Amino acid sequence: MNPNDPKLIKNVALFGHQGSGKTTLAETMLFEAGAISRRGSVEDRNTVSDYNAIEQDRGNSLFSTLMHLNWRDHKINLIDTPGFDDFVGEIHTALKVVDTVVMVLNAQYGVEVGTELIWENTQDAHKPTLFAINQLDTDKSDFDRTLEQLTERFGKQVITIQYPINEGAGFNKIVDVLRMTMYEFGPDGGKPEKKPIPSSETARAAALHNALVEAAAEHDEGLMERYFDKGTLDEEELQKGLRLAVRNADFFPVFCVSARHNMGSGRLMGFIHDICPSSADMDPARLLGGSSVKPDPKGEPLAFVFKTVNEAHLGEMSFFKVYSGTLKPGMDLQNVRKGHSERFNQLFVINGKQREAVDHLVAGDLGATVKLKDTHTNDSLSPKGKELAIQPIVFPEPRIRIALETINKGDEDKLANGLHQLTEEDPTYRVEHSAELRQTIVHGQGELHLNILRQRLEDRFKVAVQFTTPRIPYRETITRSSKADYRHKKQTGGAGQFAEVHMLVEPYEEGMPAPAGMSVRDVHEINLDWGGKLVFNWCIVGGAIDAKFSTAIMKGIMSKLEDGPLTGSYVRDVRVSVFDGKMHPVDSNDMAFKTASAMAFREAFRNAAPRLLEPIFQLTVKTPVEMSGDVMSDLQTRRAQIFGMDNDGHYQIIEARIPLAELHKYSSTLRSLTQGRAKDSIAFLEYAPVPQEIQAQIASSHKEVLEEV
């Protein structure tokens, strides 16, 4: 079925901690809906989702996978997502285009760290959310404990729709308090038999049903009045209230499933069909510029690319959501960001790696196309001249950095190509080709994230790489004034070279007075590419040096700013005043004065109490309260300065200033300290002086490297 009405399309993402059973649940939903003829398994490496070889080898989802199924008269698009926080970018892409989230939990372990971390993202996006408690057929299953944790962590809006009667190895019965019936499954699962609720469960079921009715009535004044008048709501009224509550993310229903034994998935899909919103039911999508767009199949065509994948034999595949209009093969649309035209030669609906060509896709639907010329994740495509652009996905900042280099010489081009493609597929990677540090540095979300990058480079692009410790972009400055002069004289037959320069160097501060006893004839303020300033004062009086040589003198100084005398780092925040010198009518030239000024600056800088500066970052750590002591103790060993603490429920927020040099692999250490329950983020703050003893070590190491060279 390829619907023409956006109200008949439901877009759903499966979220949850790794190992909660999302991929198995997706497989079961596809099977139950008849989209596949047999169910695969993660162990057998034959599921529709997790079709990538790396995922199959690891037994975990690492990339989001688009699928679809038909349930009754609706199309349901499913996106299966990774449970590792390292792949949070996949969560953000899914949240952008779905209208409902199904959070899958493992009944053996309750609310795990992945659940909590993903929950924050769903709440920020204000997405309707259902909870599916899975693996109720295991010996350690504990539904009541899991439900208690859900209520404790996520509030009283967590409302029970279903609960199990006989969880554990013999699990096969679910009480549904919305329909006030019991579902009993056969040995192979599938379609259950509907039975009356046992007398031993009628009181509990009735109490939960009343709580459900109250929750539904709360979101509509008319329903509340009927509830007060009748003491209950009929099925139609109840569904109306539930639709409002779910749509507004004020109500989070709880369902029971055994994905492995095909129990409960049909009822879950039935609730999605009956209650959960379509794109047409949600608020209109926001456009750049502040306006919005409704999912009208007759409107101007507008597609948004939320994911890009490069496949060896097919090229680049672009996954998109149609936000308005109807897309058809052969249609030309304009990339709003880049201004060029793109043709949709083919349209596909997707089930994992399987593609099915279709003749149209309407507003609200998800699909894919291939071989767009130059369109990538976060690009919008609309009719030429319309300039309709969906607000882009905001991806999280990286939390870890590593230097990367090829093992085999000559593989640099292959590495560059591989990194380019992989960062297009996953924008949470950042690649920095640092001329300053003479390293290629990759920024990512965690060690696993970076290790998967390395594996994909080796497997897919056939380039062997190794990780090394990234260097630190230090800066050099001075702390006191110093004067120096240098005479450059060279005679090699014929015309020689002669230049003499006298200069004063000072620490630069905004608003500082002119140098005492000097007449400043000209001032150049240069904002340096690497931060900070160089202020160059021309103070020559009486023609000791012709003004035409000032540019060469300034270039000589600039040459030393890029190779600081202390450690070879960039120099910043220095004022140089050239106040005297000598020249020769024949032998003086630009090259001579450039050399003389460079040597004079180096000498003056070394005598001006040079100081090494290091990048300082603001570190924010969100950790369970009971683990905050270990986190703070570790921070103290990293030269961190804690400047703020706050409580957020059962979490503590720690704010600290920390040198970049101390952040190497910090995210991995934090996860180890907190069993993966803490989360960190970093942001550049400023440059600050390095402690003297560390400065001495760094300068000494630099000197040894120069001597070896």
Report the CATH number at residue 647: 3.30.70.240
| Residue range 15-59, pLDDT digits in tens | 999 999 999 999 999 999 999 999 999 999 999 999 999 999 999
Boundary-marking domain end, from 468, 492, 522? 468
431 and 511 assigned to the same domain: no
Range of the domain at 324: 294-382
Q: How far apart are CA 280 and CA 302, in angstroms?
A: 15
| Residue range 446-505, pLDDT digits in tens | 999 999 999 999 999 999 999 999 999 999 999 999 999 999 998 766 678 999 999 999
Q: pLDDT higher for 701 or 267?
A: 267
pLDDT band at 151 (very low <50, low <70, confident <90, very high): very high
- Other C-beta atoms closer than 10 Å to the C-beta of 668 total 14
Boundary-marking domain end, from 254, 281, 308? 281
Q: How far apart are CA 350 and CA 356, in angstroms?
A: 6
In the chain, the percentage of residues whose pLDDT exceeds 70 is 98
Q: Look at residue 708 and tell me whether its pLDDT is greater than 70.
A: no
Pairing of strands 158-160, 252-256: parallel
- The pLDDT of residue 233 is 73
13 and 123 assigned to the same domain: yes
- The pLDDT of residue 18 is 92
User: Does a structural domain hold residue 416?
Assistant: yes
Which H or E run contains 665?
none
- The pLDDT of residue 230 is 74
The mean pLDDT of 93-112, rounded to a whole number, is 96
Q: At what angle do helices 202-217 and 235-247 cross, to 10 degrees?
A: 60
User: Does a structural domain hold residue 393?
Assistant: no
CA dist list (Å): 323 to 89, 125, 275, 466 = 21, 17, 21, 43
| Residue range 272-301, pLDDT digits in tens | 999 999 999 999 999 998 899 999 999 999
341 and 489 assigned to the same domain: no
User: Does a structural domain hold residue 330?
Assistant: yes
CATH number, domain with residue 439: 3.30.70.870
- The pLDDT of residue 273 is 96
Q: How high is the mean pLDDT of the chain?
A: 93
pLDDT band at 115 (very low <50, low <70, confident <90, very high): very high
Asked whether 537 and 523 are in contact (CB, 8 A), the reply is yes
627 and 679 assigned to the same domain: yes
User: Does a structural domain hold residue 643?
Assistant: yes
598 and 626 assigned to the same domain: no
- The pLDDT of residue 493 is 64
The mean pLDDT of 216-226, rounded to a whole number, is 76
Q: Look at residue 675 and tell me whether its pLDDT is greater than 80.
A: yes
User: Does a structural domain hold residue 709?
Assistant: no
pLDDT band at 113 (very low <50, low <70, confident <90, very high): confident
User: Does a structural domain hold residue 707?
Assistant: no
The mean-pLDDT minimum among 5-9, 99-103, 397-401, 677-681 falls in 677-681
Q: Look at residue 184 and tell me whether its pLDDT is greater than 50.
A: yes
504 and 452 assigned to the same domain: no
| Residue range 415-445, pLDDT digits in tens | 999 999 999 999 999 999 998 999 999 999 9
User: Does a structural domain hold residue 700?
Assistant: no
- Nearest residue to 164 (alpha-carbon basis) of 137, 188, 186, 129: 137
64 and 83 assigned to the same domain: yes
Amino acid in position 151: T
In 377-527, which ranges are E strands? 380-382, 400-406, 430-434, 439-444, 465-468, 475-478, 482-490, 497-507, 522-527
Q: Look at residue 707 and tell me whether its pLDDT is greater than 70.
A: no
CA dist list (Å): 530 to 435, 509, 680, 687 = 12, 17, 27, 11
- Nearest residue to 426 (alpha-carbon basis) of 405, 448, 407, 408: 448
Boundary-marking domain end, from 468, 490, 518? 468
| Residue range 159-174, pLDDT digits in tens | 999 999 999 999 999 9
Which H or E run contains 481?
none
- Nearest residue to 452 (alpha-carbon basis) of 185, 87, 194, 143: 87
- Sign of the four-CA dihedral 293, 294, 298, 302: positive
The mean pLDDT of 320-340, rounded to a whole number, is 96
Q: Collect all residues with Cβ–Cβ distance below 8 Å to 234 and sequence separation of at least 6.
A: none
414 and 520 assigned to the same domain: no
pLDDT band at 709 (very low <50, low <70, confident <90, very high): very low
Burial class (CB in 10 A: 0-12, 13-18, 19+), 7: middle
CATH number, domain with residue 549: 3.30.230.10
Task: Tell me the two tokens of residue 207.
Answer: 């109490």
Tell me the whole-structure pTM to 2 decimals: 0.89
Report H helices in 282-411: none
pLDDT band at 385 (very low <50, low <70, confident <90, very high): confident
Number of domains in the chain: 5
The mean pLDDT of 310-314, rounded to a whole number, is 76
Q: Look at residue 649 and tell me whether its pLDDT is greater than 80.
A: no
CATH number, domain with residue 359: 2.40.30.10
Q: Look at residue 704 and tell me whether its pLDDT is greater than 80.
A: no
216 and 276 assigned to the same domain: yes
321 and 276 assigned to the same domain: no
CATH number, domain with residue 195: 3.40.50.300
pLDDT band at 706 (very low <50, low <70, confident <90, very high): low
456 and 553 assigned to the same domain: no
CA dist list (Å): 532 to 42, 199, 477 = 54, 77, 10
The mean pLDDT of 103-130, rounded to a whole number, is 93
448 and 493 assigned to the same domain: no
| Residue range 527-584, pLDDT digits in tens | 999 999 999 999 998 889 999 999 999 999 999 999 888 899 999 999 999 999 999 9
User: Does a structural domain hold residue 389?
Assistant: no
